[in-house]
Amino acid sequence: MNETTRTYDVIVIGAGPVGENVAERARAAGLSTVIVERELLGGECSYWACDPSKALLRPVVAHADARRIPGLRQAVTGPLDVAAVLAHRDAMASHWKDDDQVDWLNSVDVDLIRGHGRLAGIRQVAVQTAEGHTIQLTARHTVAISTGTSAAVPDIPGIDTVHPWTSREATSADEVPGRLAVVGGGVVAVEMATAWQALGSQVTMLVLENALLERMEPFAGEMVADGLRDAGVDIRLGISVTSLAREGGRGGEVRITLSDGSELAVDEILFATGRAPRTADLGLESVGLTPGDWLTVDDTFRVTAIADGWLYAIGDVNRRALMTHQGKYQARIAGAVIGARANGEPVDDTAWGAHAATADHTAVPQVVFTHPEVAAIGLTTREAERNGRRIKVVDYDLAHIAGAHQYGEGYRGKARMLIDLDRNTVAGVTFAGPGVGELVHSATIAIAGEVPLERLWHAVPAFPTLGEVWLRLLETHRG
């Protein structure tokens, strides 16, 4: 077995959007940097999550909106062109090739090693390549782990025999199953149910909880459930899968036994039941950490259990906020910190807040790309009450906004703003309705900037847009 040894200032394990951003910023700080990746550069988001899933969902949402607009409704007849949708999805996923990403990495002068990287002691990483070689890496300053997460599949009798879908298969499948069971009620579950029902599957959702999107405001999950049911999805709440069997091997019918004693037959079953950190085979034991654990970090993304601060964990693997945009935000912070510390510069809270991540605690935006959409940031009512925050809940019917009617007849939507009565600022916002995804950044600015309501009153929304809801929420608050 061939073995080589190399030394860099910074070693990054994982070349998704997070790892790429960390590596780029470390190199920009003048540090020699290498990134280690065993799959495709660009990671989950580029090939099996953000990009392909939205490519599947955008035609579905646009089609649903178009069928409600007078003058356009008559021109939109028949189902979606499935082949065209899947071809567009393939293009958005770069046909699962990472040539462009490699070119970009070369342009920022970051080295790439393809292989499985594992920690092998303090500032040490061993990489096993596909050719069977071992490359021993030493970091002068920092090792950054950005390996993300994978789908967490429950231990159910028979699950190993049915080859279930996870989010990867759901976003990359090249055929539409006639019948699809979706297990779960969170974001991946509702988005994939939306997409595949519109593409021709008969979708049945099996949801252990008694509502969809339970971590959000209740009205959001209720409206998404209504939209799914209108599209033909069968939603079964408060039910779980107790056993599985596939008849006739791959391609055969999947028989599902449910907790109420009934059975369901489908062609494929998708488990959208959470995420697990990709740390089980990362060599954590070599530095005194537990394989398979999430990695706890401080606000500069140093792993708190490592005494001398050479190990960082950035993105989903630290469990602070499992979303690509938050991971990239963390990468920008971590890259600035790594560069400053390695160059002997002070690490403090500058005017730009370049050296401490605060948004993970209070200002994490999220959009659910269903029909209707959901957009949210900050606290929900339940979270505020649980945290003892003194808040006022302000609701407004989005159907009363002039701009909403540009989305077609029969618009249904709702906005909720939580006001922190002690700070006189916005503590949380949730929107549900067609087109609301574009409202979330204004809410993010209000919350992250801690804009006093007296100043927010002077942020005049354009007419006629959905953004006018801000004026109506403030008017409702003032009474």
pLDDT tens, position by position, 59-95: 999 999 999 999 898 888 889 999 999 999 999 999 9
Query: Looking at the predicted structure, is the pLDDT value of residue 1 above 60?
Result: no
Name the class of domain 372-478: alpha beta
372-478 and 159-273 share a CATH fold: no
The CATH number of the domain covering residues in 159-273: 3.50.50.60
Q: What is the mean pLDDT of the chain?
A: 95
Which pLDDT belongs to residue 479? Answer: 82
- CB under 8 Å, gap of 24 or more: what pairs does 223-229 form? 223/372, 223/374, 223/412, 223/413, 223/414, 223/432, 223/433, 224/190, 224/368, 224/370, 224/372, 224/374, 224/432, 227/194, 227/370, 227/371, 227/372, 228/190, 228/193, 228/194, 228/197, 228/203, 228/370
Q: What is the pLDDT of residues 408-437, one digit of tens each?
A: 888 999 999 999 999 999 999 999 999 999
Q: Which residues pair with 183 in a beta bridge?
A: 206, 271
The fold for domain 3-42+98-150+277-359 equals FAD/NAD(P)-binding domain (3.50.50)
Mean pLDDT for 303-325 is 95
Mean pLDDT for 287-305 is 96
Distance CA 120, CA 126 (A): 6
Q: At what angle do helices 50-66 and 187-198 cross, to 10 degrees?
A: 60
Q: What is the pLDDT of residues 175-219, one digit of tens each?
A: 999 999 999 999 999 999 999 999 999 999 999 999 999 999 999
Q: At what angle do helices 82-92 and 50-66 cross, to 10 degrees?
A: 140
Distance CA 191, CA 186 (A): 9
> Is the pTM above the cut of 0.85?
yes
- Per domain, the residue ranges of the chain are 3-42+98-150+277-359, 159-273, 372-478
Distance CA 440, CA 80 (A): 28
Judge whether 267 and 254 are in contact, CB under 8 Å: yes
Distance CA 76, CA 321 (A): 39
